[in-house]
Amino acid sequence: MADIDIREVGPRDGLQIEAPLPVDARVRLIEALLDAGLHHIEVGSFVSPQAVPAMADTGAVVAALGPRAGVRMVALVPNRKGAELATDAGLTDLSVTVSASPAYNEKNVGMSILESIAQVAQIVSIGPASVDAVVSCAFGSPDEGDIAPTVVAALADRLLDAGATSLTYADTTGMATPRRVDDLLAETGPAVGLHFHETRGTGLVNAYAALLAGVRRFDTSIGGLGGSPFADGAAGNLATEDLVHLLDDLGRSTGVDLDRLLAASELAASLVGHSVPSRVAAAGPRLPLPSRSRLA
C-alpha cells in the first residue's frame, strides 16, 4: 500500500489554462494516468464555461470514464450549484477553493471569504462523501504580500467548522519556500495536503521540506502543466513525474509506475501541443528505467 497519496490535478488544474480539449482527449489523458497507477485524480471542475472554457463538459468526461473500483475521482466546485452538478454526474468527492487572500478570492470566485465559507457549508449540506477545502494563497499573495500562518490556520478552522472533511494548502502563485512551509506546518500540523507551483522553481524542494515535516498528501500535475487563470505570473504545478522520481529514490511508496507516468506526460504534451515544464520529462530519470534499458 502506498504511503504517499498523490492527487493528480492535471486534468483540471493542468488543463484549465490551455486551449479547450475535446472530451475524448481529456478521457485519454485520465486513462493514461490511471494506467500509471494514479488512483486519486481531479478529473475536472463544474464552473461556468464562460469563465473557464477548458472545463466545459466535465460531466461528459465523468460519464465516459464511468465508475472505477479503487479510484477516487474528484471535481472542483465553487458553490452549491457546482456541487449539485458534480453529484448529479455521479461524483462523491469534491474540492472547493477558498483563498486566504481577500483580493484573490474575489478575482477567483467572485465572493468574499465569508461568502465562500458559507458556500462550503452549502456544498457539505448536499451530502458528498468528502469535501476537501483548498486554501489558496496559503503562503502569500501578490495583492496582500505575506499572509501569516496564524491567519491561514484560523481560516482552516472555519472551513472545518463549516463541514470540510480535509484541508489542502495551496501555493497558488509560487511564494512558498521551505522555511515558510515549516512555519505553516508548525502552526497547523502535517495532517494536510499541499499543492505547490513552480513559479520560482521551489515546488520540489518545498515538497521535500513538507515530506520531512510529516506531510503525506500532495497535489501534482502531469508534466507540470497548469497555473491559475486569475493570478498573473502563476506558473505550472509541481510535476507529478518530478515528485514520483524523487520519492522513488527516497524509497517512498506511491503506487505509481514512473515509466508509464512518463508516457502519460508525453501524451499530455502532444494533446496540448507544446512541451511540458517537467524536468524529468525533459532529461529522463537519473538511471534508465527497466523497460527502457538496453541491458534488459
Per-residue model confidence as pLDDT tens digits over 234-268: 568 999 999 999 999 999 999 999 999 999 999 99
66, exposed or middle or buried, with CB in 10 Å at 0-12, 13-18, 19+?
Answer: exposed
- The helix/strand count (H/E) of the chain reads as 11, 8
Q: What is the pLDDT of residue 292?
A: 46
Helix (H) or strand (E) holding 218: strand 217-220
Q: What is the pLDDT of residue 294?
A: 35
Range 44-53 average pLDDT: 94
Per-residue model confidence as pLDDT tens digits over 157-208: 999 999 999 999 999 989 999 999 999 999 999 999 999 999 899 999 999 9
Total length of the chain = 296
Band of pLDDT at residue 108, cut at 50, 70 and 90? confident
Domain boundaries defined on the chain? 5-292
- Phi/psi-derived region of residue 264, left when phi > 0, alpha when psi is between -120 and 50, beta in every other case: alpha
Residue 114: CB partners within 8 Å, gap ≥ 6? none
Q: What is the pLDDT of residue 229?
A: 58
What class is the 5-292 domain? alpha beta
d(CA 203, CA 240): 11
Range 110-133 average pLDDT: 96
Band of pLDDT at residue 142, cut at 50, 70 and 90? confident
Band of pLDDT at residue 143, cut at 50, 70 and 90? confident
Q: What is the pLDDT of residue 44?
A: 98
C-alpha gyration radius of the chain? 18
The DSSP 8-state label assigned to residue 182 in this structure reads: H
Whether this model's pTM surpasses 0.85: yes
Nearest to 222 by CA among 23, 22, 2, 31: 31
Contacts 24+ apart (CB under 8 A), 152-156: 152/100, 152/184, 152/187, 152/188, 153/184, 153/187, 153/188, 155/98, 155/100, 155/113, 156/188, 156/192
Share of the chain above pLDDT 70, in %: 94
3-state secondary structure 116-167: HHHHHHHHHHCCCCEEEEEEECCCCECCCECCCHHHHHHHHHHHHHCCCCEE
Share the mean pLDDT of the chain: 94
Residue 22: CB partners within 8 Å, gap ≥ 6? none
Task: Give yes or no for residue 227 having a pLDDT over 90.
Answer: no
